[in-house]
A and B are shown apart, each in its own frame.
Chain A
């Protein structure tokens, strides 16, 4: 591909309107579509969460049938994981990685277009199952057999949707790897790359490694259902626990797929607003790689109660506890980056600081869950629900929001309203804790997860949690409004929108022109 492809003259024939977005191969357009799609799915998944919290507001069944409740818990997870968080990170990768490494576009622009456009179709299929006879999937996002095999008409559609979403993720990852390894500006060695690029490189390898494993697991479900195989049926010589092993061999790396790019974002934002270089860059890279490696050998900690042999339980307990070491290194490095800096607290920094604090709380409960005998009590309770929402909502989602505020001036060319941003942050951070902190208590006191109704001793904390849920949910509408305002107008952003910002993306004007770095910059 030569530089002439990108000269201004080629703009003349470009389609406009909807066709522009449909056929675009521009990384910025595709990045924007990914981000907006993710925001839409975040609201859809959030609405499902509100159905759950509304039903759990008080004991007794008031609003929905238990089977519909189960569809909501299942779909909420699938939509949030595959529709909100993963596409948000891919959107950020599309927008920022070429700008950060000084490349003119992603390495494989047409495939990029396809990886995005698979998503709306995948989700159309997935969400349409809610309206099918027998309803949508209701066996949990983990889709354990034999329960999953009781799904109605929706069953093959769910599996097809997962295949489509998986293909999209794999293609997105190939693109990221090809871009990072081949298109860095002269002088940008691997160990000079911004940490966001590093964490995404490692994440992309994780995705390529495990998405096919998920595809395999759900395909075996499909053949068990329709083609007479018995992979997971004990009656035919199969093994229902085998599914769980395969699923979590995908599932554990998957949760790191959902958090590693967040680590990269936080490692970008904290130095900017502390006006001080990131502490321990190389140890951050090694810690990320260690976490990625460990993610492949800890999967059965999701299965401490299935009845593994003692040796298995011990191995997975020890390997899981080990994850605390590289994760701890990261937290210590972030705090050391703040130490003796000169901090200011714009919205991206507030979300980043909340991330460090609240993600660490999620890490602590994770360490508790690693202790296998204690997990015999914690497992499948609201304690686990609290744990993974602390790492995924106040972790991954807060990091995505931090990134959105941080780079919004670069995307739109306007500064967002700092006043609205601060409101959004404080409402979110207060309500998210009202929402999830009491769930620790509920789980420890004996409330299982995935139940539509509960005995009365759990009523008080559930009511608190539901109030937090509605508060947090509606606070996100403020973000939608803020984003809309920022796209429409506002104070003109400078090329380098933040005083302490560092990186190639701040060398191009704001908003970033349609084509950037047609001539690669030189990195010292």
Chain B
């Protein structure tokens, strides 16, 4: 069989596979790229991502173009005689230096964004995030509000092996929690991120980053959300059996609404009840056993 007929047959197979999968398809095939997010940093990160992606596309077109040109033109079946050259110092210097220049050009904006992300000073409020097996704890530093945030019960029921509940029928399957992390917009917020048992990673794509939650470490990160809304993220570091079932939901409110929410929360005393739960490891262990 020639390569051409093999390619044709492979093409038919792909078409068949495509036909098989288009049946249950919805619009989600459109999910192709990184989110631009809702902060200045997340947009800058998206910008870096697209820049480096376009650079690789341009290099790819050049390299693969030359390769396929060669594959189609310089084949024995066309009766060509192979050339004998095997060395060119000039070419080798060129294709060492040009990539170096491109890399330096890419390193400059990447360095700028990295320095900016690293600077957690000047924050107006601080939230402590603690990763547990398998839920998150949030503490509004100095505000006497803290609570745990777990997978919502309807998702939790549906995700059991052979639960018989269709994931699509559950509201925000696996990305809904019982208590959202409520944050104000247009406020420079510092996060202090740590882990209680094993390493987790707090990832909120719309903020543009994730940071590991490591027992014995307090990692810092910051954000300033520009748009009110509900944003969903996940634990990104393998943390045991239910790693896939500890989502993160951030609700960004206008400043005034946030103040009201915080005041209500403080008044209701809910912060205090959650306190005992979240702060001491032995109790958390007991809770784990109960789960």
Asked whether, in the complex, the Cβ of B44 is within 8 Å of the Cβ of A373, the reply is yes
Q: What residues of B have a CB within 8 angstroms of the CB of A468 in the complex?
A: 17
Chain A stretch 445-459: residues in CB contact (< 8 A) with chain B? 445-446, 448-459
Choose one: A150, A235, A341, A361; the contact of B82 (CB below 8 Å): A341
Q: What residues of A have a CB within 8 angstroms of the CB of B211 in the complex?
A: 305, 307, 376
Q: Besides A324-B103, A325-B99, A460-B31, 4 other CB < 8 A contacts?
A: A66-B244, A426-B10, A455-B175, A460-B25
Q: What residues of A have a CB within 8 angstroms of the CB of B203 in the complex?
A: 380, 448
In the assembly, what is the distance between CA of A74 and CA of B175, in Å?
Answer: 25
Q: Mark A273-288, 1 if CB is under 8 A from B, else 0.
A: 0111111110100000
Asked whether, in the complex, the Cβ of B63 is within 8 Å of the Cβ of A463, the reply is no
In the assembly, what is the distance between CA of A310 and CA of B75, in Å?
Answer: 51
In the assembly, what is the distance between CA of A441 and CA of B53, in Å?
Answer: 13
Return A133 CB to nearest CB of chain B, in Å.
16
Query: At the interface, yes or no: B241 with Cβ under 8 Å from chain A?
Result: yes
Q: What residues of A have a CB within 8 angstroms of the CB of B64 in the complex?
A: 357, 360
Asked whether, in the complex, the Cβ of B217 is within 8 Å of the Cβ of A144, the reply is no
Choose one: A66, A146, A429; the contact of B242 (CB below 8 Å): A66
Instruction: Give the 4 A-B residue pairs with the shortest CB-CB distance, closest first.
Output: A234-B216, A451-B244, A307-B219, A364-B56
Asked whether, in the complex, the Cβ of A377 is within 8 Å of the Cβ of B205, the reply is yes
Return B101 CB to nearest CB of chain A, in Å.
11
Query: At the interface, yes or no: B32 with Cβ under 8 Å from chain A?
Result: yes
Q: What are 16 A-B pairs at a CB distance below 8 A?
A: A60-B158, A60-B159, A62-B162, A235-B215, A341-B70, A342-B80, A343-B75, A344-B75, A368-B52, A374-B110, A377-B34, A377-B205, A381-B236, A456-B168, A460-B28, A463-B24
Asked whether, in the complex, the Cβ of A146 is within 8 Å of the Cβ of B210, the reply is no
Query: Which stretch, B86-94, B140-148, B264-272, touches the partner chain A?
Result: B86-94
Q: What residues of A have a CB within 8 angstroms of the CB of B87 in the complex?
A: 279-281
Q: What residues of A have a CB within 8 angstroms of the CB of B10 in the complex?
A: 426-427, 429-430
Given A60-B159, A422-B1, A455-B172, decide whether A328 and B99 contact each other with a Cβ distance below 8 A: yes
Asked whether, in the complex, the Cβ of B67 is within 8 Å of the Cβ of A356, the reply is yes
In the assembly, what is the distance between CA of A310 and CA of B87, in Å?
Answer: 42
Residue of B nearest to A466 (CB): B21
Query: At the interface, yes or no: A152 with Cβ under 8 Å from chain B?
Result: no
Return B70 CB to nearest CB of chain A, in Å.
4
Asked whether, in the complex, the Cβ of A305 is within 8 Å of the Cβ of B210, the reply is yes
Return A454 CB to nearest CB of chain B, in Å.
7
Asked whether, in the complex, the Cβ of B96 is within 8 Å of the Cβ of A445, the reply is no
Residue of A nearest to B95 (CB): A332
Choose one: A234, A329, A452; the contact of B96 (CB below 8 Å): A329
Asked whether, in the complex, the Cβ of A380 is within 8 Å of the Cβ of B236, the reply is yes
Q: What residues of A have a CB within 8 angstroms of the CB of B262 in the complex?
A: none
Q: What residues of A have a CB within 8 angstroms of the CB of B92 in the complex?
A: 280, 283, 329
Residue of A nearest to B193 (CB): A307
Query: At the interface, yes or no: A514 with Cβ under 8 Å from chain B?
Result: no
**B-contacting residues of A (Cβ < 8 Å)?**
59-62, 64-67, 70, 138-140, 144, 146-147, 150, 233-235, 239-241, 274-281, 283, 305-307, 310, 313-314, 317-318, 321-322, 324-325, 328-329, 331-332, 335-336, 338-345, 350, 353, 356-357, 360-361, 364-365, 367-368, 371-374, 376-377, 379-381, 419, 422-423, 425-427, 429-430, 434, 441-442, 444-446, 448-461, 463-464, 467-468, 471
Residue of A nearest to B22 (CB): A460
Query: Which stretch, B122-130, B194-202, B250-258, touches the partner chain A?
Result: B194-202
Query: At the interface, yes or no: B229 with Cβ under 8 Å from chain A?
Result: no
Return B237 CB to nearest CB of chain A, in Å.
6
Residue of B nearest to A310 (CB): B118
Asked whether, in the complex, the Cβ of A345 is within 8 Å of the Cβ of B3, the reply is yes
In the assembly, what is the distance between CA of A357 and CA of B71, in Å?
Answer: 12
Choose one: A280, A321, A368; the contact of B49 (CB below 8 Å): A368
Q: What residues of B have a CB within 8 angstroms of the CB of A441 in the complex?
A: 31-33
Residue of A nearest to B3 (CB): A345
Asked whether, in the complex, the Cβ of A353 is within 8 Å of the Cβ of B205, the reply is no
Return B250 CB to nearest CB of chain A, in Å.
14
Return B53 CB to nearest CB of chain A, in Å.
6
Q: What residues of A have a CB within 8 angstroms of the CB of B166 in the complex?
A: 60
Residue of B nearest to A271 (CB): B86
Q: What residues of A have a CB within 8 angstroms of the CB of B85 in the complex?
A: 279, 340
Interface size class of B (residues with CB under 8 A): 35 or more
Asked whether, in the complex, the Cβ of A453 is within 8 Å of the Cβ of B174, the reply is yes
Asked whether, in the complex, the Cβ of B212 is within 8 Å of the Cβ of A450, the reply is no
In the assembly, what is the distance between CA of A338 and CA of B14, in Å?
Answer: 28
In the assembly, what is the distance between CA of A453 and CA of B161, in Å?
Answer: 10
Q: Mark B227-248, 1 if CB is under 8 A from A, else 0.
A: 0000001111111111111000
Asked whether, in the complex, the Cβ of A344 is within 8 Å of the Cβ of B114, the reply is no
Asked whether, in the complex, the Cβ of B236 is within 8 Å of the Cβ of A373, the reply is no
Q: What residues of B have a CB within 8 angstroms of the CB of A464 in the complex?
A: 17, 21
Q: What residues of B have a CB within 8 angstroms of the CB of A332 in the complex?
A: 63, 91, 95
Residue of A nearest to B217 (CB): A307
Query: At the interface, yes or no: B289 with Cβ under 8 Å from chain A?
Result: no
In the assembly, what is the distance between CA of A416 and CA of B246, in Å?
Answer: 51
Asked whether, in the complex, the Cβ of B209 is within 8 Å of the Cβ of A331, the reply is no
In the assembly, what is the distance between CA of A283 and CA of B31, in Å?
Answer: 42
Q: Which of A339, A368, A371, A419 has the most CB of B within 10 A?
A: A371
Q: What residues of A have a CB within 8 angstroms of the CB of B6 in the complex?
A: 422-423, 425-426
In the assembly, what is the distance between CA of A239 and CA of B175, in Å?
Answer: 32
Asked whether, in the complex, the Cβ of A373 is within 8 Å of the Cβ of B48, the reply is yes
Choose one: A60, A66, A240, A317; the contact of B110 (CB below 8 Å): A317
Return B215 CB to nearest CB of chain A, in Å.
6
Choose one: B66, B77, B236; the contact of A335 (CB below 8 Å): B66
In the assembly, what is the distance between CA of A65 and CA of B82, in Å?
Answer: 58
Asked whether, in the complex, the Cβ of A460 is within 8 Å of the Cβ of B237, the reply is no
Given A422-B3, A434-B14, A450-B243, decide whether A467 and B95 contact each other with a Cβ distance below 8 A: no
Chain B stretch 146-175: residues in CB contact (< 8 A) with chain A? 158-163, 165-168, 172-175
Asked whether, in the complex, the Cβ of A276 is within 8 Å of the Cβ of B234, the reply is no
Asked whether, in the complex, the Cβ of B238 is within 8 Å of the Cβ of A450, the reply is yes
In the assembly, what is the distance between CA of A463 and CA of B106, in Å?
Answer: 35
Choose one: B44, B55, B110, B205; the contact of A446 (CB below 8 Å): B205
Asked whether, in the complex, the Cβ of A60 is within 8 Å of the Cβ of B163, the reply is yes
Choose one: B7, B32, B55; the contact of A445 (CB below 8 Å): B32
Asked whether, in the complex, the Cβ of A453 is within 8 Å of the Cβ of B244, the reply is yes
Asked whether, in the complex, the Cβ of B241 is within 8 Å of the Cβ of A367, the reply is no
Q: What residues of A have a CB within 8 angstroms of the CB of B84 in the complex?
A: 276-277
Q: What residues of B have a CB within 8 angstroms of the CB of A234 in the complex?
A: 214-217
Residue of B nearest to A146 (CB): B198
Return A86 CB to nearest CB of chain B, in Å.
23
Residue of A nearest to B176 (CB): A455
Query: At the interface, yes or no: B280 with Cβ under 8 Å from chain A?
Result: no
In the assembly, what is the distance between CA of A139 and CA of B167, in Å?
Answer: 26
Q: Mark B29-67, 1 if CB is under 8 A from A, else 0.
A: 101111100000000110011001101100110011011
Asked whether, in the complex, the Cβ of A342 is within 8 Å of the Cβ of B13, the reply is no
Residue of B nearest to A333 (CB): B92
Residue of A nearest to B2 (CB): A422
In the assembly, what is the distance between CA of A423 and CA of B205, in Å?
Answer: 42
In the assembly, what is the distance between CA of A182 and CA of B209, in Å?
Answer: 52
Return A314 CB to nearest CB of chain B, in Å.
6
In the assembly, what is the distance between CA of A339 and CA of B73, in Å?
Answer: 9
Query: At the interface, yes or no: B260 with Cβ under 8 Å from chain A?
Result: no
Query: At the interface, yes or no: B121 with Cβ under 8 Å from chain A?
Result: no
Asked whether, in the complex, the Cβ of B67 is within 8 Å of the Cβ of A307, the reply is no
Choose one: A335, A455, A460; the contact of B173 (CB below 8 Å): A455
